[in-house]
A and B are shown apart, each in its own frame.
Chain A
Amino acid sequence: MKTTRRQFIKIAGASTAGMAIAGSVLGSVQKVSEAVHVKKDMLDSELTRTPTYCEVCFWKCAAWVYKDKEGNIKKLIGNDEDQHARGKLCPRGTGGLGMYEDEDRLKKPLIRRTDANGKQYYEEAEWDVALDYIANKMNGIKKDYGKENMALFVHGAPAKHFEYLFKAFGNENHAEPAYAQCAGPREAGFFATFGSGVGSPEPADMQNSKCIVFIGNHIGENMHNSFVQEVSTAIDNEAKIIVVDPRLSTVASKATHWLAIKPGTDMALLLAWMHVLIYDNIYDKEYIDKYAYGFEELKAHVANYTPEWAAGITTINPELIRKSAHTMAAASPASVIHPGRHTTWYGDDTQRERAMAMINALLGAYGRRGGMYMGVKQKLPKYPVPAFPHPHWSWQDITKPKFKNAAVGLTNVLIEASLPEFDKKHQIKGWFIAGTSVINTIPDRIKMFKAIENQELIVVVDTMPMEMTGYADVVLPESTYLERHDYSRAGKNRVAQVAFRMPAVEAKYDSKPAWWMAKELGHRLGLEKYYPWKNLEEVLDWQFKQVGSSLEEMKKIGVKTFPSTEPIYLLPGEDYEFNTNTGKIELYSTDFAEKGYDAMPKFTRHDSPDPGFYHLVYGRAPMHTFGRTQNNPYLYDLYETNSIWINPRTAKLWGIENNSDIWLKNQDGVISEFSTKARLTERIRPDSIYMVHGFGHTNKKLSRARGRGINDIPLITKIKVDPIMGGTGMRNNFVTFVLEEPSREEIIAAADWKANAAKKKEASENKKKETEKKSEAKKEHTKETHTKEEAKS
C-alpha cells in the first residue's frame, strides 16, 4: 500500500498545496525487480572517467562518463571547464545513460523485404549486406535520375558525417528540421537587422543582464543548461524578468511582469513596445545615432502602434505594455529580448523575430554587456581531401526563387520536391535520414506519406525504433553517443572552446557509429579518395594537432579553452561595421525592401478559434527532448506522459474534471490517436490549451513510450509558410475536446482530412458528375495509403 502511495507522491505531490510535475510511473513498477541496484554506494574515487559531450539535446554539454572497475557506466557528470555545462548536466544529460541502456534500441541492420504473399517485413541483415543494398540503390538513383535527386534529412552529431558523404557523392540537398521547423525565422530576422544570425547557444548575455525578456520562450521548461544557470544567476542579481506567454510558464512564475498574451498577437505588442521606446524617448539614442540605419522611417512606421491599439489585440493592459517597456529601457543596455529557439509559429515569424531584434537595437543591447555578446570560436581545420564535385543543381535552385532568405535547405521544400507531381528534373527519389524522425517533426502528414510513397529508397539511421524507421527500406542502428566518436563541438561562445567525444564503452548490440557507416558507404560508392583515413580518431587527432592539442590531451581534459583576442562586446565609441548592405544595424531593411518584403514589420491579424475550439499551444518539459527521449527509462520515470492543460473555467463548460481522459480534435477534424489526462490549472488562458510536444508514440517497439499521451504533430494541419525563409508556422491550429472514446475507424478516417474536406466542399457545391469521379479516385488513394501504412507500422 505504502509503496504505491510513495509512487503516487512523485506524481501528485506530498502536500495538498500543489500538484507535482515529476511524474512517476505506474508503468515502470513492474520493471523494478529487474532494476540493477548495488547495495554499497559507489565512491567517486573508485571510478574512472572518459570525456564526452551530451547528445540528448542540441546544447551539447561536455561531461564525464564515470565507470566502475568492471567497466559499467555509473553516472554522467558535467565538465567544470565547459561553458555549456559549467559542471552540471540537466535531467536529460544526467539520465543520458538511459539512451545506452534502453533495451528497445535498434540492434541490427534491417532491410525491408516482401514475402510470397506480398506482405512486407523487415529482415535482419549483416552490415555488408545492408550497406551494399544502399550503395546499389543510390547508384541506381544516380543513373536513372541523377545524384542530385536524393535528399538528406539530419539532426545532431550524425549530420556532419552524412553531409560529408553526400557532398562527396555530389549532392547538396540537405535539410534539418532544426531550421525550417524551428530556429530559422530568428536567424533570418536577426541577420536582416544585425548582419549576423543568432546561432547556438544564443548570445544573450543573461548572466550580466539587468532585464531579460522572453517571448513565448519557456526557459526552464526548455532545459538549455547554461541558460537556465544564467537565468538563475540573473535572479540572484535581482534582474527584472518580463515574460510574454499565454501560460504562466515556469519562467513566467518568476517574472516581474507576466504578459498573458492572446496567442498570435505578439507582433502588436512588439510594435507597441517600439512605439513606447521611441515616443517616450527612452531608447538608446547615442547607440542608434551611431550604429543604426532607418530610425526616422521606423519612428514614422510605429507612430500609430500605441499601447492602447495593441491592448485591443493582445488583451494586455496598455499600462502594463508601457510599464514593461520602461522596465526594459531602465536596464538598457544590459537589457535583452532573448531571440527564442522554436520560432516557426504563425508564418510571419521572420518579421516577428526582426521586431525583437529591432527592440534589442533600440535598447542598445547588441554587442553590449548584459545585452548580446559577439561570440568567438576556435576553428578546427578540415582534414585535407580533394574538392567535392559540383552538383548540377541543389536545394537553392528549388528554394531561393520562392524563399529568398532561406539560409540552408528546407525540409518542407525537399518534401514538396519528393512528390510525384514535382518537376521531373528536380524530383527527389531517395531519402537518407539520420537522427530525426521526420514524420513527427515536420507537419502535414498527408503530404509526407505521399512523398514517402514516391521514394525508391529510404534509409533511416537512429539509435531507437522511432516511427520513421517503420517507413524505411533500410534501418541502420547507430551507436549512442556514449559508444562513439564524433566531430568535436566548437561553436561560438563567450570563450573559444572545443569539446571532445569518445566512446566510454564498447558499442552494444550490432550498432555502429555514423562516421563508420558514412565511410563504408563512401567506399562502396567509389568515393575512397574522400576517406583517406582509417578512423575518425585519426581525423580528430590531426585536427587537434593543427590547433596545438592532441587526441591524447583531449582524452584527459575533454574540453580545451583557447585564448582569444577578439572582444565580445563593442568597445566604447568603437566604429563597428555591421554585415548589412548599409554597414549599420538596419531598422529599415534594405535587403528586404530590395527583395519585395516589408522593410519594417507590420501587424498581420492571425486566425482566432471558432467557438468551442482553443489555441493549440505546445512546448517542452525539462526532462524530455523533442520526441526522442520518451522511452528512456530514467526520463520516462520522471515524466511518462503529457497532459492537456485546461483553464478550470473552460473545463467547467465541458464538464471536464482534473485527470479525466480526453482526446483532441482539430479544426480540420483530425482526432488524436490516443487520449491523455486533462490537467486543470489556472496557469493558462481560458482560450488556449497547452501540451508538451513529443508524446503519443505509435511504434509498438517503443515499449514504454507507445500509447502514452497525445502527439501534437498530426493535429497541426494548418501551416502558414514564412514567405521570407520558408519556415512552417505551426501555431495556427485549434482544437476541441472529444470526451467519448472515438473508434479506431473514426480516427483513421479523420486523419485523411484533406479528402474529407474536399468531399464536404464538393457535396455542398453540388457538382455531381464531375465531383463523384474525383471523390472515388481520392477514396481509392486513401485506402491504398492506409493499407501501406498499416503494413509498415
Chain B
Amino acid sequence: MRYAMAMDTRKCVGCSDCVVACQTENNVPLGFCRDWIVEAVKGTYPDTVQMHFKSERCMHCENTPCVRTCPTGASHVIEGGIVKVTHDECIGCGACIESCPYDARYVHPDGYVDKCTFCDHRLEQGLNTACVDVCPTSCLIFGDLDDPKSDVSIILKEKDWYVLAPEAGTNPQLYFLK
C-alpha cells in the first residue's frame, strides 16, 4: 500500500476549507495548521498574468529526511507510507523541522512536533481525510497508488502533474495537477 494525494490546481479556489476542516478534525490549536494554501502568481498585467492555488501539507515522502534526523525515533513511517510523529517520544528538538524541504511541521504548544497524518484515524474507519471530504471543489484526490483502480492512480495516469522540490530527492507523495 502506498498512500498518495493529488491536488488539482485547476479547480482549487484557495478557500482554506481544508485548513479549517483539519483544525477541527485534528484539534490543531488556532494559530497553527497542518495544511495551508499557497497562491502562485506569475507574469504581468494584463496579458501574461496567471495565478493558481495549491493546498499543501506534509508530502509523506518516500525518502524521509525527517525520520532519518529524528534522534528519538518519534518520527516514523507507518503502513501505506504515512509519516507520523509519536507525541510522547518527541522532545521537540526541531531537527525534523530543519530537514523538511516543505516546512510541513510545526511545534505544538504542548512541546511536540506535529504535522499532517493523512488522517490515518479516519482511514482506519474507511473514511477519506478530512480535507478531501470537505473540499467544495473536489480538488483533492486521495488513495492507494499500489491499487491501479484507485482515483489517485487513475488521475495521475491521465493528467500532467508535478511535485515540489524534486531536487531534494525526497520523492514526495503530494502531486499537483496542472
A residues in contact (CB < 8 Å) with B: 2-3, 5-7, 9-10, 13-15, 17-22, 24-25, 28-29, 31-33, 35-39, 41-45, 74-78, 87-91, 94-95, 97, 219-221, 223, 225, 228-229, 231-232, 235-236, 248, 250-251, 253-254, 258, 260, 622-623, 633-635, 637-639, 647, 649, 681-686
Contacts and interface: CB of A to CB of B under 8 A. Distances in A.
B71 interface: no
Interface residues of B, number: 60
A622 B137 CA distance: 13
Contacts of B53: 21, 250
Contacts of B125: 43-45
B38 A90 contact: no
Given A2-B106, A15-B40, A685-B46, A90 B56 contact: no
B157 to A, nearest CB: 16
Contact of B36 (A20, A32, A682): A20
B37 A21 contact: yes
Contact of A228 (B13, B29, B87, B127): B13
29 contacts: A2-B97, A2-B106, A7-B32, A10-B19, A10-B33, A13-B40, A15-B164, A20-B37, A21-B14, A28-B31, A32-B109, A33-B109, A35-B31, A35-B109, A37-B27, A44-B125, A44-B127, A89-B17, A90-B17, A94-B21, A220-B137, A223-B15, A225-B136, A228-B15, A253-B52, A623-B16, A633-B30, A637-B23, A682-B49
B152 to A, nearest CB: 16
B94 interface: yes
Contact of B45 (A25, A75, A225, A260): A260
A28 B30 contact: yes
Closest CB pairs A-B (n = 7): A220-B13, A18-B40, A622-B15, A35-B29, A6-B106, A232-B137, A22-B37
Interface in B1-36: 10-11, 13-17, 19-21, 23-33, 36
A417 B90 CA distance: 67
B133 interface: yes
A323 to B, nearest CB: 15
Given A13-B38, A20-B37, A29-B31, A88 B15 contact: no
A17 B40 contact: yes
Given A2-B97, A253-B52, A91 B109 contact: no
Contact of A6 (B37, B103, B139): B103
A26 B56 CA distance: 21
Given A25-B31, A35-B30, A634-B30, 16 more contacts: A3-B107, A10-B19, A14-B56, A18-B41, A39-B87, A223-B136, A225-B136, A235-B10, A235-B11, A250-B51, A254-B11, A638-B20, A682-B43, A682-B49, A683-B41, A683-B45
A239 B14 CA distance: 20
Could you tell me the dominant secondary structure of chain B's interface residues? loop
A89 B135 CA distance: 8
Nearest to B28: A37
B121 A41 contact: yes
B161 interface: no
A260 B46 contact: yes
Given A25-B31, A32-B29, A32-B32, A232 B16 contact: no
Interface in B121-168: 121-122, 125, 127, 133-139, 164
Contacts of B138: 229, 232
B136 A13 contact: no
Given A41-B27, A235-B11, A682-B49, A3 B106 contact: yes
Contact of B41 (A38, A88, A682, A685): A682
A7 to B, nearest CB: 6
A2 B29 contact: no
Contact of A15 (B26, B38, B135): B38
Contacts of B103: 5-6, 9, 14
Nearest to B135: A88
B115 to A, nearest CB: 10
Contacts of A225: 136
Nearest to B87: A39
Contact of B38 (A18, A251, A254): A18
A87 B50 CA distance: 31
B79 interface: no
A9 B53 CA distance: 14
A690 B60 CA distance: 38
Contacts of B45: 248, 260, 647, 649, 682-686
A75 B38 contact: no
B20 A622 contact: no
A344 to B, nearest CB: 24
B43 to A, nearest CB: 6
B30 A681 contact: no
A13 B137 contact: no
B11 A21 contact: no
A662 B39 CA distance: 23
A29 B11 CA distance: 32
Given A32-B109, A232-B136, A685-B45, A10 B14 contact: no
Between A5, A15, A31, the greatest number of chain B beta carbons within 10 A of the residue's beta carbon is seen for: A15
A18 to B, nearest CB: 3
A44 B129 CA distance: 12
Contacts of B29: 32, 35, 37
Between A635, A683, A686, the greatest number of chain B beta carbons within 10 A of the residue's beta carbon is seen for: A683
A95 B50 CA distance: 30
Nearest to B16: A22
A235 B46 CA distance: 23
Contacts of B133: 77, 87-88
Nearest to A78: B134
A672 to B, nearest CB: 25
A681 B41 contact: yes
Nearest to B18: A91
A35 B28 CA distance: 9
Interface string B39-66: 1111111100111110010000000000
A14 B15 contact: no
A645 B31 CA distance: 25
B100 to A, nearest CB: 10
Contacts of A681: 41
Contact of A14 (B14, B31, B102): B102
Contacts of B139: 232
Contacts of B36: 9-10, 14, 20, 22
A94 B17 contact: yes
Nearest to B130: A75
B136 A43 contact: no
Contacts of A7: 31-32
